[in-house]
Amino acid sequence: MVGFGGWEMPVQYSGIVEEHLAVRRAVGLFDVSHMGEIEIRGPEALALTEFVTTNQASRLQVGQAQYSALLYEHGGFVDDLLVHKVADDHYFLCVNAANQEKDYEHIRRRNRFRAEVEFAGPRYAQLALQGPRALETLAKLTETDLGALAYYHFTDGRVAGAPARIARTGYTGEDGFELYLPPAEAPRVFGELLAAGAEFGIRPCGLGARNTLRLEAKMALYGHEIDASIRPPEAELNWIVKMDKGEFVGRKALERLAAAGVRRKLIGFEMRGPGIARDGYPVYVEGRPAGWVTSGGPAPYLNKNIGLCYLPLELARLGRPMEIAVRGRLIAAETVPTPFYKRARAN
Amino acid sequence: MYPDEFKYTREHEWVKLEGELGVVGITFHAQQALGDIVYVELPKVGSQAVQGKAIGTVESVKAVSDIYAPVSGEVVEVNEALTQTPELLNRDPHGEAWLAKIRLSAPEELERLLSAAQYRDLVAEES
């Protein structure tokens, strides 16, 4: 177990590789109760949500979720998050555990609307059921028609008798569900999900597999790919920034950045030489220091050593040979297209 | 679990005497804490190991860890099999997955290491 922002969490149960492969091939269950929840309610809940997030909340239907970001006025990331529209006057935000107090304060201080902001983390536990057999597993424990729930949609229902917000979202690159439940019910539901998934080979999964899975799928992790010093176009996250939606926090800085030109970019790489890139290792191009690794490690499903790094824009080209300084030794690597892993979709 | 004839370090290496050579490895507890081991960097044959100094690294999916020499002396042989099959360290850390053989230059250093009983206590404290 490791300490994580006041939570005791397992890095692994049976082993990162086994857990990782269970999610890619069958189903895995994560206790992600450390994640934070913030609720915005009131007649101007939408106006506040639009003002503090970068994606277009006004395009959400009730029961739909979107990936988005909170930015500072200077354009750097406060956090990334999922915005769920519960009702016209109610938005439910899922944010990173370590950032939840900061995010709450950030939103509250910019609230000049008729809206209330609630720090709701303590009211929710969260379980993530992920993998190609996640639907069959969950279907045994709920009357909700899961097949009718499209990707990035959610509904309120019951799981194993417990009230639950059931969202078809995830952080693994697989199909799956994230369940928000009352904390008192979570341990029992966790056990029932494990029992329901036993016939498919379900594995309880820890923080280690969560990280290797999201890296293969090239999903950003706050503190690695994004932080206060990084702005969305640098992190290749312009797709969650809607510049034409009107005023929002960070917009002016992004306009200035667009005018001045982006100077660095996140890009994926694979190791070509024997060595594993880890977070923070320096990147060299043609013998000169050029950037740094934001996340790196073995990719258990792909059986390669992969990573993400920031490079100056003029160097961030696919197929570029480069080197990673692995504890003082330069090891060959090459930039590659991302995501490293993309699941085959039926539709 | 932890053979009585081995000596142990607080950093979770073991050493076993074979004549004037010390066979060196990492403990069961070390491989368990690291998880799936995917890469091993061994010392060079002919290099000088110094007790308590790094002689190599072992990497699992989740982390990198230095291997510290439990004894000083010349590295006379390394277990090349680990380069191709690092997962051997998870399967047989006290046997087949030895890391290196060191010709002891200061055998009295062994007295500074932990006995199996002391090491078991250390592991119990850490778990």
The full set of domain ranges for chain A reads: 2-215, 263-336
pLDDT value of position B62: 85
**In the 8-state DSSP scheme, what is residue A185?**
G
Distances (CA, A) of A292 to A216, A319, A326, B60: 18, 17, 12, 21
Residue with tokens 């494990």: A194
Q: How confident is the model at residue A9 (pLDDT cuts 50, 70, 90)?
A: confident
CATH of the domain spanning A263-336: 2.40.30.110
> Which CATH code, of 3.10.250.10, 3.40.190.10, 3.30.1360.120, 3.40.50.2300, is assigned to A2-215?
3.30.1360.120
Q: In this predicted model, what pLDDT tens digit does every residue of A126-151 receive, in sequence order?
A: 999 999 999 999 999 999 999 999 99
- Look at B39 and A208 and tell me if their CB atoms are within 8 Å: no
For chain A, percent of residues with pLDDT exceeding 90: 95
pLDDT value of position A346: 57
Q: Beta-strand (E) ranges in chain A?
A: 2-4, 7-9, 28-31, 36-41, 65-71, 77-87, 90-95, 116-119, 125-130, 154-159, 162-167, 176-181, 203-205, 264-271, 282-285, 288-299, 304-312, 321-326, 329-336
Distances (CA, A) of A227 to A119, A210, B8: 21, 19, 42
* Domain assignments of chain B as residue spans, ordered by start: 7-126
> Is 0.85 exceeded by the ipTM?
no
Query: Three-state DSSP class for A87?
Result: strand
| A116 residue type, one letter | E
The separation between the first and the last C-alpha atoms of chain A, rounded to the nearest angstrom, is 39
Residue A332's Cα: distance from chain center in Å?
29
**Residue B35 to chain A, least CA–CA distance (Å):** 6
- Look at A12 and B62 and tell me if their CB atoms are within 8 Å: yes
| A10 residue type, one letter | P
Closest chain A residue by Cα to residue B90: A15
Pairing of strands B100-104, B73-78: antiparallel
- Look at A276 and B35 and tell me if their CB atoms are within 8 Å: no
The closest CB to that of B62, out of A16, A274, A327, belongs to A16
Distances (CA, A) of A31 to A8, A26, A97, A328: 11, 17, 13, 37
> Do A2-215 and A263-336 show the same overall fold?
no
Which two three-digit tokens encode residue A347? 């539709």
- Look at B36 and A327 and tell me if their CB atoms are within 8 Å: no
Burial class (CB in 10 A: 0-12, 13-18, 19+), B44: exposed
The closest CB to that of B61, out of A275, A298, A327, belongs to A298
pLDDT value of position A279: 94
Is-contact A55 A69, C-beta < 8 A?
yes
Q: What is the mean predicted confidence (pLDDT) over B32-44?
A: 94
**Rg of chain B over all Cα atoms, to the nearest angstrom:** 13
pLDDT value of position A4: 60
- Nearest-angstrom CA–CA distance, B63 and B34: 7
Q: What is the mean predicted confidence (pLDDT) over B105-115?
A: 96
pLDDT at A3 over 80: no
> Which CATH code, of 3.30.450.40, 2.40.50.100, 2.102.10.10, 3.40.50.1000, is assigned to B7-126?
2.40.50.100
**Residue B62 to chain A, least CA–CA distance (Å):** 6
- Look at B35 and A275 and tell me if their CB atoms are within 8 Å: no
- Nearest-angstrom CA–CA distance, A202 and A23: 8
At CB < 8 Å, which residues of chain A contact B?
A: 11-12, 15-17, 20, 208, 211-212, 274-276, 278, 297-298, 300, 327
Q: In this predicted model, what pLDDT tens digit does every residue of A53-66 receive, in sequence order?
A: 999 999 999 999 99
Q: Beta-strand (E) ranges in B72-117?
A: 73-78, 100-104
The whole-model pTM stands at 0.91
At CB < 8 Å, which residues of chain B contact A?
A: 35-36, 38-39, 57, 59-62, 64
pLDDT value of position A328: 87
